[in-house]
């Protein structure tokens, strides 16, 4: 069972396919894990240096003081957000985080209501697709 | 028992077959779990879960 397989019979081909599949999955999970560990480390470093800063009273204040990218716990989401362009990101954040209406956004950006909504829904689709790919 | 049979049984959720695959791929998982010059147990655990997910998701 443990000897190197020659990849000739159907069974051995199948095993090789599975091994390749698994190797890729393992590599991805490993990269994710390493990134997560790095981000945690980074966060620790930041909180260490903020320890004596009276400006940040509670843990929550300190958390909100971090750059947005470090507040995110979901690395797939973070990667997806890096993929979309600046304008799409702006609309997405304004809508999701600031809970702005499409009308006020359209006015601010000098676009029509339809333009803003289509940017928003396109961005959502892009992010969902990207996250699905990354989660595989 | 050949590989295909083990994989099919594992896919069907038979525990002994899943364990057989875990044992078979243990070296690969251990190798993947070495991080920063040492064996990372948490990562190993994550990779074991990855294997189990792969068994479910693999299509042939």
Residue A93's SS3 state is helix
Angle between helices A10-50 and B41-57 (to 10 degrees): 140
pLDDT 10s digits, A21-61: 999 999 999 999 999 888 888 888 776 665 555 555 555 55
pLDDT 10s digits, B1-46: 788 899 999 999 899 999 999 999 999 999 999 988 889 999 999 9
Does the CB of A40 have a partner CB in chain B at under 8 Å? no
Q: Provide the residue ranges of all domains of chain B, joining segments of one domain with +.
A: 3-57
How many Cα neighbours within 13 Å face the side chain of A6?
Answer: 2
Which carries the bigger pLDDT value, residue B60 or residue A29? Answer: A29
* Chain A residues whose beta carbon lies within 8 Å of the beta carbon of residue B25: 19, 22
Angle between helices B3-11 and A10-50 (to 10 degrees): 50
pLDDT 10s digits, B38-55: 899 999 999 999 999 999
pTM over 0.80: no
Give the C-alpha separation, B57 to B49, whole Å. 12
Share of chain A above pLDDT 90, in %: 18
**B32 → closest Cβ in A1, A21, A30:** A30
* Chain B residues whose beta carbon lies within 8 Å of the beta carbon of residue A18: 3, 7, 54, 58, 60
- Mean per-residue pLDDT for A84-105? 86
Per-residue model confidence (pLDDT) at position A1:
47
In sequence order, what are the residues at sequence separation of 6 or more whose Cβ sits closer than 8 angstroms to the Cβ of residue A44? none
Per-residue model confidence (pLDDT) at position A91:
87
Among A77, A85, A75, A73, residue whose Cα is nearest residue A131: A77
Per-residue model confidence (pLDDT) at position A22:
93
Is residue A134 within a helix (H) or strand (E), and if so which, with residue range? Answer: helix A113-135
Instruction: Check if the beta carbon of residue B12 is closer than 8 Å to that of residue B56.
Output: no
Contact A26 B35 (CB under 8 A): no
A72-136: CATH topology: Arc Repressor Mutant, subunit A (1.10.10)
Give the C-alpha separation, A97 to B38, whole Å. 40
Contact A18 B43 (CB under 8 A): no
Contact A26 B28 (CB under 8 A): yes
- Taking CA atoms, A60 is separated from A41, A47, A50, A65, A98, in Å, by 18, 12, 13, 9, 18
Q: Which residue of B has its CA nearest to A3?
A: B24
């Amino acid at each position: 069972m443990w000897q190197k397989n020659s990849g000739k019979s159907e069974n051995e081909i199948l095993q090789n396919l599975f091994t390749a599949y698994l190797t890729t999955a393992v590599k991805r999970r490993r990269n994710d894990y390493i990134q997560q560990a790095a981000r945690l480390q980074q966060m620790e470093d930041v909180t260490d240096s903020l320890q004596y800063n009276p400006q940040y009273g509670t843990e929550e204040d300190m958390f909100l003081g971090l750059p947005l990218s470090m507040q995110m716990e979901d690395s797939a989401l973070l990667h997806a957000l890096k993929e979309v362009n600046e304008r799409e990101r702006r609309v997405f954040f304004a809508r999701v985080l600031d809970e702005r209406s499409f009308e006020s956004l359209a006015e601010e950006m000098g676009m029509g209501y339809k333009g803003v909504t289509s940017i928003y829904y396109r961005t959502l689709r892009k992010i969902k697709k990207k996250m699905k790919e990354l989660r595989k | 028992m050949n590989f295909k049979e083990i994989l099919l049984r594992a896919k069907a959720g038979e525990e002994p077959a899943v364990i057989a695959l875990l044992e078979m791929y243990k070296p690969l998982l251990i190798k993947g779990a070495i991080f920063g010059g040492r064996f990372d147990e948490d990562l190993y655990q994550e990779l074991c879960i990855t294997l189990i997910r792969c068994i479910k998701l693999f299509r042939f």
